[in-house]
Structure 1
Amino acid sequence: MKGTKLYSIFTGACPVCQETSMYKTKNPYKVNELFEMHERCCHCNTKFKIEPSFFFGAMYVSYAVGIAFATAVFTICYGIIGLGPVASFVAIAIALVILLPIIVRLSRNIWINFFFNYDKKKV
């Protein structure tokens, strides 16, 4: 799967060489280090923060990712398990709070992959 955008998105690897992680800490649940990123890739020297407010666009992506997770939780709770609407919406709220760090990182990974492509020459 290496060499695809999906690999970079799901692993948090550099979108250009996919050799190193963009994040200083792999664990997104270390909340005080959630947004800590390397300035550049140590392997191919790609600059991750293209401009000062580059990752503001990831907020729009996080909305779509959050809706996707909420839809999945609702479908599972209401459609498959058979919970009522109120219990299903409570489950959505709980799931979104628990998954917030993952949604944040996933959104950043998706956003940066809009602007960079994998380059075999930089591996």
Structure 2
Amino acid sequence: MSAAAAPIESSSLALLALRCPRCHQGKLFSHSALNLTKFTEMPAECPVCSQTFEPEPGFYFGAMYISFGFAVGTFAVVGILLYYLFDNPDTWVYVAAVAIITLLSTPLVFRYSRAIMLYLFGGTRYDPAWAARRAR
């Protein structure tokens, strides 16, 4: 299958690779993050193990809180870097820098917020024996 890759044993590495939480093989997103018109599209279920990617309606509303955490981290890091590296520039520099970095990182923040939500609260865990059962 083209949607499948070799299973990743570590759940942390599978999350970073944006793979299914149960089989660690299927991709969570249908298109590249660089495709700005379709970076949000997820299949309804894993193309490898058929694990549903939306456990209940409205499940990903909780990902907004995770995204907010990423935004706060971005604001803090950019603010501190600008303050110390550019000797406290004008306010417009802070606003412009944070706005640009936030816009550029939106596809990644969106994807990782959803992946973290699915891994932490999706109700499924990695099953290394799944591949062995599937092969039979």
TM-score range, shorter chain: 0.7 to 0.9
Match of 2:53, as an amino acid? F
Conservation of the 8 A alpha-carbon contact between 1:78 and 1:85? no
Match of 2:103 among 86, 97, 100: 97
Distance 1:122 1:78, change over 3 A: farther
Corresponding residue for 1:11? 17
Distance 1:40 1:64, change over 3 A: same
Bigger relative CO (Cα 8 Å, ≥ 6 apart) = 1
Corresponding residue for 1:122? 130
Structure 1 unmatched ranges of 5 or more:
none
Conservation of the 8 A alpha-carbon contact between 1:28 and 1:34? yes
Distance 2:71 2:90 in 1: 19
Does 2:43 match 1:38? yes
Aligned identity (percent) is: 24
Distance 2:15 2:74 in 1: 16
Corresponding residue for 1:72? 77
Larger Rg: 2
Distance 1:40 1:72 in 2: 36
Match of 1:24, as an amino acid? S
Match of 1:111, as an amino acid? M
Conservation of the 8 A alpha-carbon contact between 1:70 and 1:92? yes
Distance 2:106 2:98 in 1: 12
Conservation of the 8 A alpha-carbon contact between 1:74 and 1:89? no
SS in structure 1 at match of 2:15:
helix
Distance 2:105 2:24 in 1: 24
Conservation of the 8 A alpha-carbon contact between 1:23 and 1:36? yes
Match of 1:18, as an amino acid? H
Structure 2 unmatched ranges of 5 or more:
1-7, 132-136
- How many pairs were matched up? 121
